[in-house]
A and B are shown apart, each in its own frame.
Chain A
Amino acid sequence: MAEAPPDAARIASEARDRVRFEEEALALSDQVFRVARHLASSREEAEDLVQETYARAFRSWRSYTPGTNLRAWLLRILTNLNIDRGRRSQRAPQTTPLEANDYYLYDKLAASDGAATDEERVVERLSQDDIVSALSAVPHDFRDAIVLVDIGDFSYQDAAQILDIPIGTVMSRLHRGRRILKRELADSVTEDAS
């Protein structure tokens, strides 16, 4: 008859697993923050959310399945906490902003530049502040998709799991969100020029 493993051995083995989990999670904190920064509405809020996320992750580490995507697991916690905080994931606004076509921003930037220039230089007409404020002006639902996929490098599949929406919805929000972002950027160019 096999004997149950001694308690001390079991405890030691679990402690090793937990330490490994904590270290792996902490190693991802830069990436988690980078995404959280733009899911939340301010830097302070992002810092609070990341702390709450790690506190919860460390408490419930047993519910993480080793070998699965830990970064997506952490972001799922963070997104839920963000929603719990009252930033309910909003429905798409009733009056959706007018979206320009995909090349609207390019046409505007290139036109205001006069002579034909290098496309890689054209983007540099946008300032960092323009980009940060244009992104924050994108409605939450659309922004979440952009932040996860274009900034956080999550796959459509991971983004769908994190946001708890179908993958097709991720794709359509991404599509519309990018257009809204470009329209906001084009507006910022007009404002700078006036």
Chain B
Amino acid sequence: MKDAQQDPCAHCEEMMQPYLDHILTEAERVEAEHHLDDCEWCRRRYRFEESLRVYVRQAVSEPMSSGLKQKLAALRIPLN
């Protein structure tokens, strides 16, 4: 069992999502980047997690139909 206190990779895993969310403190960010520079195992996973977010966002983005756009414009309240 990995112990986050002792295992830097387990600690890095805990910080991965907050790191991608840009919510780590400056000190934590530096620590995470320092570990990522040194550790290829974590770096691969970081690159994967980052790509996954972009990929998911692209995959689920459906453009709005032009018909709906027209319907919305028609909902505007006419000027008297």
Q: Which A residues fall within an 8 A CB radius of B? A: 15, 18-19, 22, 26, 29-30, 33-34, 37-38, 43, 47, 50-51, 54-55, 58-59, 101-103, 105-106, 109-110, 119-120, 122-124, 126, 128, 131-132, 135, 150-151, 156, 175, 178, 181-182
Any A CB within 8 A of the CB of B49: yes
- For B17, what are the chain A residues with a Cβ–Cβ distance below 8 Å? 102, 175, 178
Query: CB-CB contacts of B4-31 with A at 8 A, as 1s and 0s?
Result: 0000000001001100000100000000
Instruction: State whether B77 touches A29 (Cβ < 8 A).
Output: no
- Distance of A126 Cα from B62 Cα, bound (Å): 17
7 contacts between A and B (CB under 8 A): A50-B68, A119-B45, A122-B51, A131-B55, A150-B53, A151-B61, A181-B56
Number of cross-chain contacts by CB at 8 Å? 92
Interface of A (DSSP majority class): helix
Interface of B (DSSP majority class): helix
- Distance of A105 Cα from B68 Cα, bound (Å): 37
Q: Which B residues fall within an 8 A CB radius of A? A: 13, 16-17, 23, 44-45, 47-49, 51-53, 55-57, 59-65, 68-69, 71-73, 75-77, 79
Instruction: State whether B56 touches A150 (Cβ < 8 A).
Output: yes
Which single residue of chain B is at the shortest CB-CB distance from A121? Answer: B51
